[in-house]
Amino acid sequence: MPCNQNAKIVRVARDWIGTPYRHQRSTKGQGADCLGLLRGVWREVLGAEPEAAPSYTADWSEQSGEERLWQAAARHLRPVEVQPDRAGDVVLFRMRGTAVAKHLAILGDGRDGFPTLIHSYSGTGVVETPLTPAWARRIVAQFEFPDRRG
């Protein structure tokens, strides 16, 4: 993917900072959850979303154990090796060891020597935070956005 697209992804994601957390929403300034942020950035950078987001609960299919969020990411984003310094990529987190992966973030281009995460979660909304070791050890997959042309 061209470097200028990565920079644009980070710039667009940062424009969402301050958007309040709203489950299943994807409207800049009005409300977004972690998937909603990703969907909004996709629309601004690539155009129409590749599929409609289904209804989902905050537990992301924990009871069934089905990796629905991971499967959806793999359908539309390109899996890459986990390298937290790749700004503009999407990282997927497993919040507990045996739970399903249910949180997404876009990697920022770093602050004070640390990669950053641009993400939305309950109680904070869209923020940019350092990718601390506590966050890093929860990463289970990393993806890049497809090239706008392909």
The candidate with the shortest Cα–Cα distance to 84, out of 103, 105, 101, 112, is 105
For residue range 34-88, list pLDDT tens digits in order.
Answer: 999 999 999 999 999 999 988 787 765 566 778 888 999 999 999 999 999 999 9
User: What domains sit in the chain, N to C, each tagged with a CATH number?
Assistant: 3-144 (3.90.1720.10)
Nearest Cα neighbor of 33 from 140, 127, 95, 122 is 122
Q: Is the pTM of this model over 0.85?
A: yes
Tens digits of residue pLDDT in 90-139:
999 998 888 889 899 999 988 777 899 999 999 999 999 999 999 999 99
